[in-house]
């Protein structure tokens, strides 16, 4: 058990170091030697867990996928409306991006065109499907106009999320991310939510901006 625990800790250390370097310097500009040095492990330890740099990238995107699906399921189980669950999911993912490099690296890898190995879906495809499913449920719950085509809305939502992260992360402090997310949701809410339901979700966006983990 002790040996297995050490192996798991070493693997996590290597992944964290790779994610940090991928996030800061990009996938192509990061070498395995730099990852070994940054992680403080031997090359043998790295190759025991990962045969190539592509395996590290794949593992990071697997973690990202698992995190998104886990959060989506947890929010669904809490009894929120589908639209509220979707809004909270976007703020939760943004918060986790700030707390550690793995999700940030996953986003940079996905945006940078690093290939995703099947059966793992591309992150943007998965996010779009998560959004579309919840938007369809929101239509059934009368929180989204019945004449809205959810597929382009889901696509626009994912593009906005990625753009907010990439552009915002380049031009301004990360502390402004919740404000940018709230602004994105204000636009989407005004374009998709019936007037009678709009105030509730505009208020929620403002509350999540102030406290992304608000109950």
Yes or no: say if 103 and 174 are a contact pair by the CB < 8 Å rule.
no
pLDDT higher than threshold 80 for residue 168? no
108 pLDDT tier (thresholds 50, 70, 90)? very high
pLDDT tens digit sequence for 112-143: 989 999 999 999 999 999 999 999 999 999 99
Contact between 64 and 123 under an 8 Å Cβ cutoff? The reply is yes
Give the model's pLDDT for residue 183: 95
pLDDT at residue 31 greater than cutoff 60: yes
Query: What are the start and end residues of each CATH 1.10.10.60 domain in the chain?
Result: 1-51
Question: In the predicted model, what is the mean pLDDT of the chain?
Answer: 93
| Residue 26 neighbours by CB distance under 10 Å | 14
Residue 100 is predicted with a pLDDT of 87
Band of the pLDDT at 4, cuts 50, 70, 90?
confident
CATH architecture label of 1-51: Orthogonal Bundle (1.10)
Query: Do 11 and 23 form a contact (C-beta atoms < 8 A)?
Result: no
Q: Which two tokens stand for residue 111?
A: 């945006």
pLDDT at 186 over 80: yes
Residue 164 has a pLDDT of 86
Instruction: Decide: 160 and 94 in contact? Cβ < 8 Å.
Output: no
> Please, what's the b/e burial string for 141-177 (b: 16 or more CB within 10 A of its CB; e: otherwise)?
eebbeeebebeebbebbbebbbebbeebbeeeeeeeb
DSSP string for residues in 72-96? HHHHHHTT--HHHHHHHHHHHHHHH
User: Among 61-75, 103-117, 152-166, 171-185, which is the least confidently predicted range?
Assistant: 171-185
Tell me whether the omega of the peptide bond preceding residue 119 falls within 30 degrees of 0, making it cis: yes
pTM above threshold 0.85? yes
Percent composition of the chain: helix, strand, coil (DSSP 3-state, to 5): 80, 0, 20
Tokens representing residue 16 in the block: 């964290």
Domain with CATH 1.10.357.10 in the chain: 53-210
Query: What is the tens place of the pLDDT at every residue in 91-102?
Result: 999 999 888 899
Q: What percent of the chain has pLDDT over 70?
A: 98
Q: How far apart are CA 211 and CA 204, in angstroms?
A: 10
pLDDT at 215: 63
Q: Which CATH architecture has domain 53-210?
A: Orthogonal Bundle (1.10)
- pLDDT of 1 reads 55
> DSSP secondary structure string, 46-68?
HHHH-SSHHHHHHHHHHHHHHHH
């Amino acid at each position: 058990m002790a040996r297995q625990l050490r192996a798991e800790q070493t693997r996590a250390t290597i992944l964290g170091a790779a994610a940090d370097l991928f996030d800061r310097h990009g996938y192509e500009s990061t070498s395995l030697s730099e990852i070994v040095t940054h992680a403080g492990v031997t090359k043998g330890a790295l190759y025991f867990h990962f045969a190539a740099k592509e395996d590290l990238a794949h593992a990071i995107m697997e973690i990202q996928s698992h995190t998104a699906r886990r959060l989506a399921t947890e929010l669904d189980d809490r009894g929120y409306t589908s639209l509220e669950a979707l809004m909270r999911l976007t703020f939760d993912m943004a918060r986790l991006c700030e707390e550690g490099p793995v999700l940030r690296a996953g986003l940079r890898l996905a945006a940078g065109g690093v290939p995703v190995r099947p059966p793992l879906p591309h992150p943007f495809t998965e996010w779009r499907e998560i959004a579309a499913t919840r938007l369809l449920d929101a239509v059934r719950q009368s929180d989204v106009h019945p004449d809205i085509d959810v597929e382009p809305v889901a696509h626009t939502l994912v593009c906005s999320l990625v753009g907010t992260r990439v552009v915002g992360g380049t031009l301004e402090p990360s502390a402004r991310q919740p404000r940018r997310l709230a602004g994105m949701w204000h636009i989407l809410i005004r374009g998709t939510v019936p007037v009678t339901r709009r105030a509730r979700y505009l208020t929620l966006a403002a509350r999540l901006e102030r406290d992304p983990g608000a109950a």
